[in-house]
Chains A and B, each alone.
Chain A
Amino acid sequence: MELRPIPVKRNTIVLGTVLFILAVFAWAGWANFEYRKQAHERLLAMTPQGEMAANPAGGAPQYVTPLQGKPAPAFTLEDLSGEKRSLASYKGKAVLINFWATWCAPCKIETPWLIELRNQYAAQGFEVLGISMDDIDRGDPQKLSDEKRQIARFVQQEQMPYPVLIDADSLSTPYGGLDSLPASFFVDRNGIVVAAQLGLTSKAEIEANIRKALGN
């Protein structure tokens, strides 16, 4: 009687190869997941994120920025006339960097306070830099013109006497996300952030932080 060979060996090799491929894919998936997790953690670590914390003196929670005590991130932005202005050129002055937008109702409330305080403390070496976070579309000249006109109208209506800079998307990450407005950073004469505020607070609180930046 002739015995026919059973094709087990070939099937075993195919199955083994498939299992090996599956194992490689599983390993690659796990390695990829770990890589992306670490990349995400690195990204978060690089991005200073501020947070609201309980006020030790009681009252409303305070905004705590990781920039506190550190040099204010440098920037050079255009003002509404197209002139470039950099934070570095204000060294020696105390500066309030105020992020705002035309669509932000609380920003509109605090603007008159900023103007009054700026005029009150300008002689001591204090300046406000208003940074508009309104969208700027440089790819469309008509849109860009409309957007600039809208910001300029707000500046004119509110009679803002200080420089207003635009197209500041690049500052979101170094200044802690800027997920909501208004947001203010108080910088002393050496360029160090000494206080920060998120959201509408009060004129008294803004003034206290200006005095801190001035070293009064």
Chain B
Amino acid sequence: MMIAAKSGMWIAIALAGLLAQAQSPNLLTHSTLKPAAVEFLYPEQINVPAGKATTITLHFRIAPGLHINSHTPKVDELIPTSLSIPEDSGVRLEGAVYPPGAEFTLPLDPRTKLSVYSGEFTIQARIVAAAGDHLVEARLRYQACDNSACMPPRTMTAAIDVLAK
């Protein structure tokens, strides 16, 4: 009986924790967000040699009907797709190779050539990781449009577990 009572107390404490979490205002905010235009596919986990530059391939998918500017859009004002890694993550981004964009014109303006990605695309990221396990939250900044309208620029997170030995 004592064991049951103690277990019950722990369950009550755990429930109190869950309740506190449920009261977080973030949950309300998140429920109003629209799905992202770009999704990170993989890898979720990689093994790399510690301290040595290694190239990894990150795979992304753009929602059907949308495109995003390539890394080198042909119009100055357009926001290029770019990858970054936070400085304090234990992993340094030495450089990134982006795919060439596909030429694209809006139906109402065939003269203006844009450079875009659509469907799935990959970025070759050259990283150097310190020894240890690092949960890296790489950031992809992009700006998505369809054939007639554009959404504001966004920065998405690609979570990758980097195991460096």
Contact of A180 among B11, B19, B150 (CB under 8 A): B150
Contact of B148 among A21, A40, A106 (CB under 8 A): A106
A198 within 8 A of B: yes
A18 within 8 A of B: yes
Selected A-B contacts with CB under 8 Å, 7 pairs: A11-B1, A14-B5, A36-B28, A39-B28, A109-B106, A179-B152, A198-B149
Write out, one digit per residue, whether chain A residues 28-41 have a CB within 8 A of any chain B CB (1) or not (0): 11001100100110
- Select the stretch in A69-77, A159-167, A188-196, A199-207 that faces chain B: A199-207
- Select the stretch in B71-79, B83-91, B92-100, B132-140 that faces chain A: B71-79
In the bound complex, CA of A123 to CA of B75 (Å): 35
Binding site for A on B (CB under 8 A): 1-2, 4-5, 8-9, 11-12, 15-16, 18-19, 22-23, 27-28, 31-32, 34, 75, 77-79, 106, 108-109, 112, 114, 143, 145-153
Q: How close is A11's CB to chain B, nearest CB, in angstroms?
A: 4
Please state if A181 and B77 are interface contacts (CB–CB under 8 Å).
no
Contact of B109 among A33, A102, A109, A181 (CB under 8 A): A109
User: In which size bucket is the chain A interface?
Assistant: 35 or more
In the bound complex, CA of A33 to CA of B21 (Å): 12
Cβ–Cβ < 8 Å partners of B75 in chain A: 105, 108
Contact of B12 among A22, A102, A179 (CB under 8 A): A22
Contact of B112 among A12, A109, A202 (CB under 8 A): A109
Where chain A touches its partner, the secondary structure class is helix
Cβ–Cβ < 8 Å partners of A133 in chain B: 152
A15 within 8 A of B: yes
Cβ–Cβ < 8 Å partners of B78 in chain A: 103, 105
In the bound complex, CA of A199 to CA of B108 (Å): 12
Contact of A106 among B16, B18, B145, B152 (CB under 8 A): B145
A-B contact count (CB 8 A): 105
Please state if B19 and A11 are interface contacts (CB–CB under 8 Å).
no
In the bound complex, CA of A106 to CA of B109 (Å): 9
Whether A179 contacts B148 in the complex (CB less than 8 A), given A32-B19, A36-B28, comes out as: no
In the bound complex, CA of A28 to CA of B21 (Å): 13
Cβ–Cβ < 8 Å partners of B151 in chain A: 179-181
Please state if B8 and A19 are interface contacts (CB–CB under 8 Å).
yes
Please state if A181 and B1 are interface contacts (CB–CB under 8 Å).
no
Cβ–Cβ < 8 Å partners of B5 in chain A: 11, 14-15, 18
Identity of the chain B residue whose Cβ is nearest the Cβ of A33 in the assembled complex: B22
Contact of A101 among B16, B146, B148, B152 (CB under 8 A): B152
Cβ–Cβ < 8 Å partners of A198 in chain B: 149
Cβ–Cβ < 8 Å partners of B148 in chain A: 106, 199-201
Cβ–Cβ < 8 Å partners of A14 in chain B: 5, 8
Write out, one digit per residue, whether chain A residues 1-28 have a CB within 8 A of any chain B CB (1) or not (0): 0000001100110110011011001101
Q: How close is B15's CB to chain A, nearest CB, in angstroms?
A: 4
In the bound complex, CA of A201 to CA of B149 (Å): 10
Please state if B12 and A40 are interface contacts (CB–CB under 8 Å).
no
A45 within 8 A of B: no
